[in-house]
Amino acid sequence: DDDGISTFANYPAARKLAGSRDGQYLLVGPWPHATNTRCVIPGVDFGPEETIDFEGYVLDWLDMALDVDPSRFGARGRARVFLMGANEWRDFADWPPPGVSEGSLFLASGGRANSLLGDGSLDPQPPKAGAESDAFVYDPDDPTPYLYDAGTLQVGGPFDARPVERRDDVLCYTTPPLREPLTLCGRVFAELFVASSAADTEFCAKLCDVHGNGVARQLCDGNVRLALRNSLAKKEPVAPGEVARVRIDLWATGIVIPAGHRLRLEVASAAVPKFAAHTNTLADPGSAAEAVVAHNRVFHDARRPSRVVLPILAEKA
């Protein structure tokens, strides 16, 4: 959901602040903005376990929290999370789940990662000296779109991203088909080394699950405005052409990706209408009177190893 970050940020913060009143639990389902309702995107089916007795879950928790009948809630884990792909609920002792390790896939290309037809790839090995960078043109008058359901105004969801990935202002980096299933459960980040010809710009990243038939299901995404890369309270402009490191929070996902599927990272400079189109100036978005075209670049060499950081959950044999 497009409000999901509040759940993933509030739970660990609440536990940290609770002290002796540490009684927080986390419930994450595969739902749209309307909690505990079925996904209605064509081609997506999370199975009969998608919806639950939500009110019963809450009442059982209240019986425990108010010491009415703690046995009703039982010895459940702190985090109950639906894993897409497997289409089943998992109970974890905490969030992020214990046993999750940080995995990295590094961006690589021959200098032409533009669109899903380009040569961008994701590699578990860090880049070597002499690797290429990738460039694209971001025009605020023709911003990169973001898929959404116009009927429900649902922003985000497992839409097929290929219509967006066909644009040259979208860099695409894709793994080979997975040899084994891969379980992701937790926060996802893109760490990129970037530069722009403009006084300011934006960088957006999106992780997709690419099926054998080519369908690229959106999993999670996020954005960073370059001058606000370190703090939303203070602008720190980057000189045109200067390389800066940005860490884009893609929020979180929980999914079992089967063997034969691929992972894809998109990089662009807009996601309209999810985010307002950046004007490539230092003017505040609400008062910007003009826009300029930006020539943006992503580096992936030995000194500037751009990567996507994944929460890999080791599954028991």
Q: Which of 175, 168, 160, 176 is nearest to 117 (CA)?
A: 168
- pLDDT tens for 76-106 read 999 999 999 999 999 999 998 999 999 999 9
Q: What is the DSSP string of 76-118?
A: --SEEEEEBTTTEEEEESSSSPTTEEEEEEEEE-SS--BSTTS
**Can you tell me the mean pLDDT for 240-249?**
98
For position 206, what pLDDT does the model report? 98
pLDDT at 315 over 70: yes
Looking at the chain, the whole-number percentage of residues with pLDDT higher than 70 is: 98
CA quadruple 82, 49, 34, 3: dihedral, nearest 10 = 10
For position 270, what pLDDT does the model report? 98
pLDDT at 295 over 70: yes
DSSP alpha helix (H) spans, the chain: 4-18, 54-65, 162-165
More confident site: 96 or 163: 163
Written as six digits, the tokens of 208 are 């997709």
Residues contacting residue 36 through CB under 8 Å, at least 6 positions apart: 29, 51, 52, 54
Measure the CA–CA gap between 248 and 196, rounded to whole angstroms.
Answer: 16
Segment among 2-11, 93-102, 172-181, 199-208 with least mean pLDDT: 2-11
Q: Which long-range contacts (CB under 8 A, 24 or more apart) does 67-70 make?
A: none
pTM more than 0.75: yes
